[in-house]
């Protein structure tokens, strides 16, 4: 299983972490990868912590369980840093990406001694600028693609545009804002 990229997402119900994980699986599949994307949550309510997962590989994926030792963790809501052990099992050779206006150095003390790479992106600023509202999932999706190098930026943007055209066929005005958020995020992840 050494060629399988494993990602764990932490968010709150309604923030789009599950949707982002499923979109990542969709676009990776469209570029020829083998994928898994699935959520895990308890009581399904707005604001409750949720976890979602991705496995992405160039070969068949034969394991079908939660991800306990991910290479990457995406934290969609920085308040979860104090509520959930988001670094549990996170490999030192991987990275954590946190939605925050703070720098990686400012957040490191909250990461329970995690010694690997820490990236931040201000998904609120980007989504408000691009969409006029706070939807953190598109910026966080672009950030994980950029940090992992799962695919090149152009392939990612092309696949996402196709996905958004399908998903928002009845609301084409939403497509342009989401594409803008993705482009901005690819440039702004720190």
**163: helix, strand or coil:** helix
- The CATH number of residue 156's host domain is 3.40.920.10
**Strand 117-121 versus strand 49-57 pairing type:** unpaired
Task: Examine the pLDDT at 42 and tell me if it is beyond 80.
Answer: no
Helix (H), strand (E) counts: the chain: 7, 6
* Structural domain for 28, as ranges: 5-188
What is the pLDDT at residue 43? 64
pTM above 0.75, yes or no: yes
Question: For residue 15, is it left (φ>0), alpha (ψ between -120 and 50) or beta?
Answer: alpha
Q: How confident is the model at residue 14 (pLDDT cuts 50, 70, 90)?
A: confident
What is the pLDDT at residue 172? 80
What is the pLDDT at residue 2? 57
What is the pLDDT at residue 103? 96
Domain count of the fold of the chain: 1
- Across the range 47-75, mean pLDDT stands at 94
**Maximum distance among all Cα pairs of the chain, rounded to whole angstroms:** 47
Burial 144-181 (b: 16+ CB within 10 A, else e): bbbbbebbeeeebbebbeebbeebeeeeeeebebbbbb
Decide if 41 contacts 51 (C-beta within 8 A). Answer: yes
**The pair of three-digit structure tokens given for residue 114, joined into one six-digit string:** 């995690």
Nearest C-alpha neighbor of 27 from the set 133, 134, 165, 170: 165
């Amino acid at each position: 299983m050494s060629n399988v990229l494993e990602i764990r997402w932490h968010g709150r119900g309604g923030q789009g972490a599950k949707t982002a994980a499923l979109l990542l699986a969709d676009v990776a599949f469209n570029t020829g990868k083998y994928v898994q994307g699935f959520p895990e949550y308890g009581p399904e309510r707005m604001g409750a912590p949720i976890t979602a997962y991705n496995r992405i590989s160039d070969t068949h994926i034969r394991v079908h369980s939660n991800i306990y030792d991910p290479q990457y963790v995406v934290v969609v809501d920085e308040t979860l840093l104090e509520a959930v052990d988001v670094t549990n099992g996170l490999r030192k050779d991987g990275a954590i990406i946190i939605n925050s206006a703070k720098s990686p150095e400012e957040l490191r003390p909250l990461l329970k001694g995690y010694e690997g790479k820490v990236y931040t992106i201000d998904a609120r600023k980007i989504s408000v600028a691009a969409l006029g509202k706070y939807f953190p999932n598109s910026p966080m999706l672009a950030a994980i693609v950029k940090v992992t190098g799962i695919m090149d930026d152009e392939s990612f943007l092309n696949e996402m545009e196709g996905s958004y055209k399908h998903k928002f066929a009845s609301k084409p005005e939403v497509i342009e804002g989401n594409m803008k958020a993705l482009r901005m995020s690819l440039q702004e992840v720190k």
